[in-house]
Amino acid sequence: MKAILPGSAADSDKPVVLGETAEPEPADDEAVIAVEAYSVNRGETFQLDGGLDRRWAGWRPGKDIAGTVTRPAADGSGPVEGARVVAHPPAYGWAERVAVPTHSLAELPDSVDAVTAAALPLAGITALRLLRAAGPVAGRTVLLTGASGGVGHYVTELAAASGALLTAVSATTERGSQLLQLGAAELVTSVAEARGPYDVVLESVGGDSLPAALAELAPGGLLVWFGQASRTPVTLDFFSFFKGPDQARIAHFDYTTSDTTYGQDLTALVRLVAGGRLHPEIGIVRDWAHTADVISDLRGRKIRGNAVLTVG
């Protein structure tokens, strides 16, 4: 079958190539899905350029997909043949077909198309689980750094719908205006402009952003650290706690750790989209033959929102 294969990490013009690979060999609890659309995550671009370990030999990208079940799981779990689904496999999804554990997929109603669904998994699941880690946010003040990304989009809309008073940090005016439309109570272009204290800080930038955001935390507040988009290490001064947020807490967040499965969270996200309560942002839709070009545009920050490729 055809699949998108990693190119040369040294050649930025060819991060991936369209080639041939073996058909998936599903385990008993895996369904085979004919992929109709997939989205590109920034973490996958880091892996392709060698910025992150590729984890295992034979790795291929593909964590956010939507399509149709062509071979149900042998153990009887999951949807039947012909069911439309969205899925979050560990890899290999940029292909004509992929095997996915049934606990990592959810069925789609007719009202949610494959392109929209493909924009949901990684960013949507991360946002949902991040807000669970933050605890109840109704009526609480929340500071969100790195709000311009896909996770920030979902966090803003979900938190606002839950009653949070969210301040979004976005250096881009156009992007910031959209975050206000999604329900952000306030927009600032840097943490230095934020007017705390905040009950919760959701921090994803790293570098100087984390200690600056920590200083805006209320006594007894919680900072959830869920990323380092700046690619810059964080330095913290223990003694700064004595002149700042007394008894504050810092929690490291890993989206892969949860009491719920990916499938359960995808089901919740799909229900919100179908009900008009969550709105994935699709920045570009192209045929998968153009995946390398789309990755280059993502690296150059020329695309706002999710980049979705359709498998023809």
| Each residue's pLDDT tens digit, 39-56 | 998 888 888 876 555 546
Element holding 155 (H helix, E strand)? helix 150-161
pLDDT reading at 80 higher than 80: yes
Contact, 114 vs 99, CB < 8 A? no
Q: What is the pLDDT of residue 232?
A: 86
pTM score above 0.85 = yes
Beta strands per DSSP E along the chain: 2-6, 16-20, 30-39, 65-71, 84-87, 97-101, 105-107, 141-144, 165-169, 186-188, 198-203, 217-225, 249-252, 282-287, 306-310
pLDDT reading at 35 higher than 70: yes
Please indicate whether residue 56 or residue 18 has the higher confidence score (pLDDT): 18
Q: In angstroms, what CA-CA distances link 266 with 62, 65, 127?
A: 16, 12, 11
Taking the C-alpha atoms of residue 71 and residue 60, their distance in angstroms, rounded to an integer, is: 21
Burial pattern 259-269, b for ≥16 Cβ within 10 A else e, equals eebbbbbbbbb
Mean pLDDT of 4-27: 85
pLDDT band at 66 (very low <50, low <70, confident <90, very high): very high
pLDDT reading at 241 higher than 80: no
For residue range 176-224, what is the model confidence (pLDDT) as tens digits?
A: 788 999 999 999 999 999 998 999 999 999 889 998 999 999 999 999 9
For residue range 91-139, what is the model confidence (pLDDT) as tens digits?
A: 999 999 999 999 999 999 999 999 999 999 999 999 999 999 999 999 9
For residue range 261-305, what is the model confidence (pLDDT) as tens digits?
A: 999 999 999 999 999 999 999 999 999 999 999 998 988 888 888
Q: What is the pLDDT of residue 51?
A: 52
Which tokens go with 238?
């223990």
Q: What is the pLDDT of residue 164?
A: 97
